[in-house]
Amino acid sequence: MNFLVKKSASLRGEIDIPGDKSISHRAIMLASLSEGRCEISGLLEGEDCLATIEVFRKMGVKISSNEGVYYIEGNGIKGLKQPVAPLDFGNSGTSIRLCSGVLSAQNFPTTLIGDSSLSSRPMQRIVEPLTLMGAKISSSQDGTLPLSILPTESLESIEYTLPVASAQVKSCIMFAGLFSKGKTKIVEETITRNHTETMFNAFGIPVEITNSGSARTISVAGIETLKPVDINICGDFSSASFFILAALISPDSEILIKNVGVNKTRIGFLHALRHMGANIEILNEVNEFEPTADILVKTSNLKGITLNTDLVANMIDEMPAFFIAAALAEGVTKVKDAKELRTKESDRLQAMANALEAFGVKYHLSQDDIEIYGLGSEGVLKSAEINSFGDHRIAMASTIGSLRSDSETKILDCENVKTSFPNFVETCKQIGININHE
């Protein structure tokens, strides 16, 4: 699927965003491990989360849905069944890494596979800590899929300092910690998104958090049972980021995005944009197990900044949108230490550099740093043909950038937008974006 996008006039309206992908994965997993029925509303019905659902169905968990509400009959902590075939996680790095923590503790073998994109992503970062816990897990010689997990009698608790800022690695160890003897401790020197911690709390799992300077230690002990909980999932901030960007860069625009998750470990993008001069208001904030709010965004003249390196891990999924904001800001924007962008669904650092070049934006890319020379609030991007490399976030960021192009822009290979935002095109049209697909 390719997107065809033309320059749009002012954008206006109120929109709802699909459920948070990170929270949806975790809700499915914990509900499947609980003893009883969980009702989950707002769950993202994108391909990544549907892959997680199918994985647990293959391990004997009964999951049904009615009018967007999902009902999960949990099998209990020790109740998963051996699947009859390899477990296919599609494109979902979150799901395969988190589920590896659960599957490493089971009394049956499993093989974990994914699509071509997922099969190129690094898995040694979870193999190492799980092996330290006593898991019998191995990857390919290249440190990628498939993963092979053999039964183990028990997992041991460890204290592990994350070598990279990764919520997926942290969460993998936390899930494994539910099955381990003693207390598992994970030390992160850069704070990453804390959806696993908040979801554990929602299900009544004790999580101990201590801070020492800039480092944070998360401690989890093994459990015997898990009670079912009903969960209402808020809108995905990463999906909202594209429409925040759209309102900022389009003339005379104002968009209200309803019921979005505003967890402080996820909204670095807002902090960065406000530093650039963005007119963004947080309205009607409520705090249940995750804080949510409405986000009101108006057209703004942005200025280039040097991005705080502490924000890179926080806004890792919003960086493609941030690069487009930088391209249309006044002056130079500098981003350093963004190497983690190279290990996502695509090499996002190179993919976005390619997109900027196609749009006619000058930049300097060196190793894991980039400087973007913005065109300013009156700047016009060149119409182009942009390769998204099958990466949903590259596709959506490039789509929004096309709103400031001089003619029609074609975004190639956009099928994977369905992994996180199935109704992206319809939502674009709802606020006046001129988009079609072929």
Asked whether the beta carbons of 74 and 226 are under 8 A apart, the reply is yes
Whether residue 1 contacts residue 414, with contact meaning beta carbons closer than 8 Å, is answered with: yes
Dist. CA 406–CA 378, nearest whole Å: 12
* Residues belonging to the active site: 317
**135: nearest Cα among 148, 112, 160, 152:** 152
H/E run at residue 200:
helix 195-202
Q: What is the Cα–Cα distance from 92 to 115, expressed in whole angstroms?
A: 9
Whether 97 and 55 have beta carbons less than 8 Å apart is answered as no
What are the strands of the beta sheet with 35-41, ordered from one edge?
62-66, 69-75, 35-41, 231-232
Task: Determine the number of helices (DSSP H) and then strands (DSSP E) in the chain.
Answer: 13, 25
Distance CA 158, CA 118 (A): 28
The C-alpha atoms of residue 205 and residue 315 are separated, in whole angstroms, by: 27
